[in-house]
Amino acid sequence: MSIIKKIALYFARKEFCRNAICEHADLSVIREKHTLPVIIGLVLIIFSYVFVIPAFFIIGLIAAETKKPMIGVIGIPLAYGVSWVMFMLGIYLTGSDYAKALGKWVVRIILERILGDEAKKIASNPN
């Protein structure tokens, strides 16, 4: 048995993972009608991903063109920090329901891919 499968079996016995598999966790909470803070939070989360990679290239290009590497040394971590703050603010605005739904969905998908039908057996009988 591979080390990855052993780790997956270990986590499949944990309560959070068992619940995710038994409830067949999905992203249906995202399809519900959203309030304004939730919409702003989702936009911030998406924008934080879209913003950071082009920012790295632009800052690196500016640093290379001006032959001042300190622009890149300071600018790239600063852009990453701004992206992280946007992401965290987005998570805060969307609320814990969205974070839990995403976490359960990811756990279920990963464990079912690694363990297959065995994941459902373990979730229904953890011992």
At 71-117, the pLDDT tens digits run 999 999 999 999 999 999 998 998 888 888 888 888 889 988 888 88
Are the CB atoms for 107 and 115 separated by under 8 Å?
A: no
At 24-68, the pLDDT tens digits run 888 887 788 888 998 899 899 889 989 888 999 999 999 999 999
The whole domain housing 39 covers 3-124
Q: Whole-angstrom Cα distance, residue 76 to residue 73?
A: 6
Helix or strand run (H / E) with residue 69: helix 69-94
Are the CB atoms for 44 and 89 separated by under 8 Å?
A: yes
Report the domain count for the chain: 1
